[in-house]
Amino acid sequence: MFNKTKSKKTAPKGEQKMDTTTPVAEPIKPPEVDTTTPAFGEITRFTAADIPVWGEWLLARIQETWPQWNRASLHGRLMGFTSSNQFMFIKTGEAVGLATVAHEPMDSTPFVREVFLFITNSDAKKDALKIVTEFKRWAKTIRAKRIDLWINSDLTRDEVVRHVRGEIYEEVFKDLR
């Protein structure tokens, strides 16, 4: 842990040279952690840097639902979603979801609407449910009065309802209070 370095002091003639060693601490190295990719299943914000990684698959999935949008327009929209606080654009290892804040025309209280929630394979439903939980948490933090889910989702209505509430209260809307 310590290196010993000898001082270069010289003793006067006739005297015995004194060996002085001073411990010097080695610099502490930070642990080598890959900070570019999240732990599997961890929820992270979808950023512009994720578009090349998820791009082709995500654009194809979006075009299945909204075929009127071409790839260039969708790419621009995805870039806009990543930088706007009006959207929660998040991902896990195998799921990606987008939700937005919305308002009724005559009501100032916001609500959250899921835009889409896609999974890469049928075994990734747990990842998608983590995203649903994060949408619900976000809705509570902005004091939304409801959250609209499973609109364009790879999860069924029953899977979402069982996860979010445990029982069915309304057909489409969930009271968050």
What would the pLDDT profile of 15-40 be if each residue is shown by its tens digit? 665 556 665 556 544 334 344 554 55
Report whether 79 contacts 115 (CB < 8 A).
no
Q: What is the mean pLDDT of residues 141-157?
A: 84
Residue at 93: amino acid letter: G
d(CA 126, CA 130): 6
The answer on pLDDT for 50 being more than 80 is yes
pLDDT recorded at residue 156: 80
Query: Is 31 domain-assigned?
Result: no
90-112, pLDDT tens digit by residue? 998 889 999 999 988 888 889 99
d(CA 175, CA 144): 9
The answer on pLDDT for 69 being more than 80 is yes
Identify the domain containing residue 84 by its residue range: 44-175
Q: Angle 71-119-134 (CA atoms, 0-180°, nearest 5)?
A: 105
The answer on pLDDT for 4 being more than 60 is no
Query: Is 97 domain-assigned?
Result: yes
Q: pLDDT class for 167, splitting at 50, 70, 90?
A: very low
Query: Is 50 domain-assigned?
Result: yes
**Cα within 13 Å of Cα(100), Cβ side:** 11
Report pTM: 0.68
pLDDT recorded at residue 41: 57
177: tokens are 């209070």
d(CA 99, CA 138): 10
Residue at 92: amino acid letter: T
Query: Is 116 domain-assigned?
Result: yes
- Total structural domains within the chain: 1
Query: Is 93 domain-assigned?
Result: yes
Average pLDDT score over the chain? 77
CATH of the domain at 89: 3.40.630.30
> What percent helix, strand, coil does the chain show, rounded to 5?
35, 25, 40
pLDDT recorded at residue 82: 92
Residue with tokens 């914000």: 45
The answer on pLDDT for 66 being more than 70 is yes
